[in-house]
Chains A and B, each alone.
Chain A
Amino acid sequence: MNDWILPLLVGIPALGALAVALAPAKRDGLFSLALLFCAAEAALAIFTFTKFDGTNPNEQFSFSRPWFALPTGAGEAVPVAFHLGIDGLSLLLVALSGLLAPVILLSAKGHIERREREFLVWSLVMIAGMQGVFLSRDLLLFYFFWEISLIPLYFIIGIWGGPRRVYATVKFFLYTLAGSVVMLIALLYLAYNFGTVAIQELSTKDIPVRAQLGCFLAFALAFAIKVPMVPFHTWLPDAHVEAPTAGSIVLAGVLLKMGTYGFLRLGVGMFPAAAVQCGPWIAGIGAAGIIYGSLLAYGQSDMKKLIACSSVAHMGTIVVGMFALNAAGLRGGILQMINHGLSTGLLFLLVGVLYERRHVREIAEFGGLAQVIPAFAVVLTVATFSSIGLPGLNGFPGEFLCLKGAFDASPLLGAAAAVGTVLGAVYMLSMLRRVAFGPITRGENQKLIDLNGREWASAIILLIPMVWIGLQPSLFIKPTEPAVDLLISQIEKGRRSLALENGASLKIANAGAAETGKSGGRR
């Protein structure tokens, strides 16, 4: 029975897309139908979370069926399986994707006023694709879902986006596609040289350090563009600004995490020696991203662009935590992925709420909103606090662990990341102050209507886990720990093979020196 949970997690939204595409219903009926599927998806995701055995480091609820065989030169074929599984690394992300599904639809209902059917279909396909990415345990299947998940967002931004939507969406699509095709070549290299594309099996192979490095860099390019890491981040602000609210929520909430998750599962998991070798560089780029993103965010006058740039900074924090390559950093990175999804998702939702009412997003257009729409201001304040990592909310444990990991790895790295965190507080609080507090500067804002039932519902779906993670972080960190420990042992293996490699090359160098010495002597 349990092995059907994961196919259902992918299948429910996929079936939902089919049902919505074919249903004879009109606007409201379609929304309800899609919402039904999303609610089922969310319920199943929560069910998976509660059923998950948090003491088991390995994948659970496995579902594996042979798909096809890729023939090789050596005569035997590389089996490709439709293999889904969940473990501590993906658990929280799967739960988050499921939870966000209804939020996406609820937020969309206010501003998607044309071509609803198409929108709902693409949203559901998007959710199915993302779950597929997080659940795939076969490299080829992972790539398959990874590419599929590009298409829905291409349409969501391109059809329902702002004035420069076509530019933004084509840039997004081509940028990410260019990154991922190089990953495909690395994937093929692995298939032919190691005879398998099963992620688990590849993790246990002793891949030579040089090959690890090449493959790691090919995968890292795809992930760095997706995260996005500086200097590959330029597509993100464009995409966010042009995307409709629902698109921004998906993008910030889950899609970017495909990059960081890929780094963990594939980058560190399969090529630990290369990860150890490149780790400091990547963490350094991440730290640069924190500071650069924060400065960018501080300079923005458009709320949506500000949050988009803050995403660059926050994703930098996650990368720094992960590539500290120690237990604290990895745990923090995993938790922070969820936190960023929740808080940034909520922030985009709130910007969307304002945009639906005023059709502007400039910070200067608002001010003193707390007096007119107090409930909105409260939620915005909570979201801001969560984003800057105030204790008691979800941002705190995640950011703390990331910073601790960074400090353990290198005080310099930790210091850079900490500076970024302080900058984060500066621009977020200044936005909050200018939008929600002070005098009401614009007459139009006098008549704003506060959050309605639908908006409350989607906000509460996000607020509950935000508070819960803040108050009881161990509940969410514990199930990831065995998987993180497994990853740590993998990293240790990487360190050893790297040391061995260095030792060997040292030996070869010594032998070479001896050889030269001998021949010199002979001469």
Chain B
Amino acid sequence: MSDDLLRFAPIALPIAGAVLGMLLEALLRKPKVAMWLTVASLAGSIVSVFGGATGLAGYGSELYTLDAAGGILTAGASAFALLALFLSVNYLKPQDDEFPGEIPILLALVPAGIGIIAGARHAMMIFLGIELLSVPLYALVALRRANAAAVEGAVKYFLLGAFAAGFITFGMSLLFASEHSLDLDALRAAAGRSPVAAAGTALFLAGLLFKLSAAPFHFWTPDAYEGAATPVTALMASTTKIGAVAGLLKITPLLPASAWPALAAIALLSIAAGNFGALLQDRVKRILAYSSVAHAGTILLALAAGLSAADPALAADLHSAASRASVYYLIAYGASAFGAFGIIAILERGGDRFRTIGDFRGLSRRQPAAAWLLTFFLLSLGGIPPTGGFWAKYFVFATAVQAGQLWIAVAGIILSVVGVAYYLRIVATCFMASEDAELGAPPQGKVPLPALLATLAAGVGVLVLGFAPAELLGLIGR
């Protein structure tokens, strides 16, 4: 019995925290209570993952069993949500923040949704998880109701998200019609068995690719990222991809090995669309939004490689290599992107500063620490050692090479170099402005300590991943 409780703790704790928080918020109107409840429940979720909640079988295990990789994803998502909570403290201006208790409550549900996907053994669980992850995010993006960009971003995100949910449910119904089951083990390789199942799988995949913001499903990303309050953007960047990839790791086994070129093509298209799109942007949040499209593509490269072996023994090996690489990538990318948005949030401090790249001109002279940290995170996003981002790219391309996709790997890595160009553009603006150039807006007010700590924590994460890649890799296991 106690095992059963422990099994569900990683998802049950944040949900319970959120429900209790809503209740207490309604009764007490004390946002601090909801906040600390969320902190405690997310911390509890992380502790339960490392305290043995993974790999347990028992009641309900035909629906939900968390494996080691899923555990890391759940714990990672909880950690990012926790950091985003700290980042959001004192961020919103009072007029934007009519219901300060909402943020922690909504935040807690995001990792719960990811946890459900990560442990799903049934297609319906993935759908439930996706919705539990997305609905709070729609609300969080629209949090600043007076801000037109926020509302626009949220509406776009919501409408396209509704389409994606429609795709997923329609795909599930086709799968059920063809296979008479939605159990993921029973569905294994289903797409090869009948055209109906193939269509269902394709629709399901399209829904997940939308959530991943892979090209050509990425058009909502720049608007939603830019419209959202920056702590929310940090949360989206670091966690939505975890949810989507957790789902993709469950759904790709439905595909036959011969489907890998399609995934690889979407991957390369995403890297190209994201990187070239970002080159054309002038607003930093949009640049990072496009870069997230490219990163989605890089993760897909690993998944495509994981799919590519027809021989069952090799396929199992490749799939586990792909899941290892993508989990590592998600954590490293999440920490780097969180850090970059964290720096922007700290610089903005709720105002309308630091929007365009020009606002960062000469940042190193005004706020050297912020400039250095931002550079560090951007280098990690670019995949330059000694950062976690380097090893993340390394493991992904290693998987592609292991699968024998040499030319795909070469194409992907060369397209990735394009990405470095715009990261360097930001770095150059911060550091290399001439002495007499007009500087961007000066920051105002004090740096909020929780936000600073959250960003520094992400930085420590990226650094540790950069120098000791083996540790996380070991945790993910085989």
A8 within 8 A of B: no
Q: Mark B396-431, 1 if CB is under 8 A from A, else 0.
A: 011001100010011001101100110011001001
B442 within 8 A of A: no
Cβ contact within 8 Å between A189 and B324:
no
Cβ contact within 8 Å between A73 and B398:
no
A14, chain B: closest CB distance, angstroms:
11
Query: Which residues of the partner chain B approach A69 to less than 8 Å between Cβ atoms?
Result: 470
Query: Which residues of the partner chain B approach A148 to less than 8 Å between Cβ atoms?
Result: 384-386
Can you list 29 A-B pairs, Cβ within 8 angstroms, ordered by A? A68-B469, A68-B473, A69-B470, A70-B398, A71-B321, A73-B314, A144-B386, A148-B386, A150-B384, A151-B379, A154-B424, A155-B431, A158-B431, A159-B432, A166-B432, A170-B428, A173-B420, A174-B417, A178-B417, A181-B417, A182-B410, A182-B413, A182-B414, A185-B397, A185-B406, A185-B410, A188-B398, A192-B398, A192-B401
- Per the CB 8 Å criterion, the residue count for chain A at the interface is 36
B199, chain A: closest CB distance, angstroms:
32
**Also in contact, A177 and B420, with CB within 8 A (given A147-B390, A182-B414, A185-B409):** yes
List CB contacts (< 8 Å) of A51-99 with chain B: 67-75
Please give me the residue from chain B that is nearest to A114 by CB atom. Answer: B435
**Also in contact, A188 and B324, with CB within 8 A (given A147-B384, A170-B428, A174-B421):** no
In the docked arrangement, what's the CA distance between A178 and B424, Å? 14
Q: Mark A240-271, 1 if CB is under 8 A from B, else 0.
A: 00000000000000000000000000000000
List CB contacts (< 8 Å) of A180-213 with chain B: 181-182, 184-185, 188-189, 191-192
Query: Which residues of the partner chain B approach A184 to less than 8 Å between Cβ atoms?
Result: 394, 397, 413
In the docked arrangement, what's the CA distance between A176 and B357, Å? 25
Cβ contact within 8 Å between B424 and A173:
yes
B96 within 8 A of A: no
Cβ contact within 8 Å between B318 and A73:
yes
Beyond contacts A173-B424, A188-B402: 12 other A-B pairs, Cβ-Cβ < 8 A, are A68-B468, A73-B402, A114-B435, A144-B386, A169-B432, A170-B424, A182-B413, A188-B394, A188-B397, A188-B409, A189-B406, A192-B398
B432, chain A: closest CB distance, angstroms:
4
B305, chain A: closest CB distance, angstroms:
11
- Return the contact of A185 from the options B384, B413, B431, B435 (Cβ within 8 A): B413
Q: Mark B351-393, 1 if CB is under 8 A from A, else 0.
A: 0000000000000100000000000000100001110001000
Q: Mark B421-453, 1 if CB is under 8 A from A, else 0.
A: 100110010011001000000000000000000
In the docked arrangement, what's the CA distance between A180 and B368, Å? 30
Please give me the residue from chain B that is nearest to A175 by CB atom. Answer: B417
Interface majority SS on A: helix, strand, loop or mixed? helix
Query: Which residues of the partner chain B approach A155 to less than 8 Å between Cβ atoms?
Result: 431
Query: Which residues of the partner chain A approach B473 to less than 8 Å between Cβ atoms?
Result: 68, 71
Query: Which residues of the partner chain A approach B401 to less than 8 Å between Cβ atoms?
Result: 185, 188-189, 191-192
In the docked arrangement, what's the CA distance between A24 and B441, Å? 29
A304 within 8 A of B: no
**Also in contact, A191 and B398, with CB within 8 A (given A71-B324, A181-B416):** yes
Please give me the residue from chain A that is nearest to B313 by CB atom. Answer: A73
Query: Which residues of the partner chain B approach A173 to less than 8 Å between Cβ atoms?
Result: 420, 424
B317 within 8 A of A: yes
A244, chain B: closest CB distance, angstroms:
13
A165 within 8 A of B: yes
B417, chain A: closest CB distance, angstroms:
5
Query: Which residues of the partner chain B approach A158 to less than 8 Å between Cβ atoms?
Result: 428, 431-432
Query: Which residues of the partner chain A approach B398 to less than 8 Å between Cβ atoms?
Result: 70, 188, 191-192
Cβ contact within 8 Å between B420 and A165:
no
Query: Which residues of the partner chain B approach A178 to less than 8 Å between Cβ atoms?
Result: 414, 417
- Return the contact of B470 from the options A67, A74, A118, A147 (Cβ within 8 A): A67
B478 within 8 A of A: yes
Query: Which residues of the partner chain A approach B413 to less than 8 Å between Cβ atoms?
Result: 181-182, 184-185
Please give me the residue from chain A that is nearest to B394 by CB atom. Answer: A184
A122, chain B: closest CB distance, angstroms:
11
In the docked arrangement, what's the CA distance between A69 and B416, Å? 25
Query: Which residues of the partner chain A approach B470 to less than 8 Å between Cβ atoms?
Result: 67-69
List CB contacts (< 8 Å) of A390-418 with chain B: none
Please give me the residue from chain A that is nearest to B424 by CB atom. Answer: A170
Query: Which residues of the partner chain A approach B394 to less than 8 Å between Cβ atoms?
Result: 184, 188
Query: Which residues of the partner chain B approach A70 to less than 8 Å between Cβ atoms?
Result: 398
Query: Which residues of the partner chain B approach A67 to less than 8 Å between Cβ atoms?
Result: 470
Query: Which residues of the partner chain A approach B410 to less than 8 Å between Cβ atoms?
Result: 182, 185
| Residue of B324, B390, B420, B432 with highest tally of chain A CB at under 10 A | B432
Cβ contact within 8 Å between A73 and B321:
yes
In the docked arrangement, what's the CA distance between A69 and B398, Å? 13
B312, chain A: closest CB distance, angstroms:
13
Query: Which residues of the partner chain B approach A114 to less than 8 Å between Cβ atoms?
Result: 435
In the docked arrangement, what's the CA distance between A188 and B398, Å? 6
Query: Which residues of the partner chain A approach B314 to less than 8 Å between Cβ atoms?
Result: 73
In the docked arrangement, what's the CA distance between A155 and B384, Å? 14
Query: Which residues of the partner chain A approach B386 to less than 8 Å between Cβ atoms?
Result: 144, 148
Query: Which residues of the partner chain A approach B414 to less than 8 Å between Cβ atoms?
Result: 178, 181-182
Cβ contact within 8 Å between B385 and A147:
yes
List CB contacts (< 8 Å) of A117-176 with chain B: 118, 144, 147-148, 150-151, 154-155, 158-159, 165-166, 169-170, 173-174
In the docked arrangement, what's the CA distance between A212 and B137, Å? 51
Query: Which residues of the partner chain A approach B428 to less than 8 Å between Cβ atoms?
Result: 158, 166, 169-170
In the docked arrangement, what's the CA distance between A173 and B375, Å? 15
Cβ contact within 8 Å between B432 and A177:
no
Cβ contact within 8 Å between A192 and B385:
no
In the docked arrangement, what's the CA distance between A43 and B296, Å? 49
Query: Which residues of the partner chain A approach B324 to less than 8 Å between Cβ atoms?
Result: 71
Cβ contact within 8 Å between A159 and B321:
no
Q: Mark A287-302, 1 if CB is under 8 A from B, else 0.
A: 0000000000000000
A177, chain B: closest CB distance, angstroms:
5
Cβ contact within 8 Å between B432 and A165:
yes
Query: Which residues of the partner chain A approach B425 to less than 8 Å between Cβ atoms?
Result: 170
Q: Which 6 A-B pairs have the closest CB atoms?
A: A68-B470, A188-B401, A73-B317, A158-B432, A181-B413, A178-B417
Query: Which residues of the partner chain A approach B478 to less than 8 Å between Cβ atoms?
Result: 71
Please give me the residue from chain A that is nearest to B390 by CB atom. Answer: A147
In the docked arrangement, what's the CA distance between A75 and B320, Å? 11
Please give me the residue from chain A that is nearest to B316 by CB atom. Answer: A73
Please give me the residue from chain A that is nearest to B435 by CB atom. Answer: A114
A76, chain B: closest CB distance, angstroms:
11
In the docked arrangement, what's the CA distance between A178 and B390, Å? 15
Cβ contact within 8 Å between B384 and A151:
yes
Query: Which residues of the partner chain B approach A71 to less than 8 Å between Cβ atoms?
Result: 321, 324, 473, 478
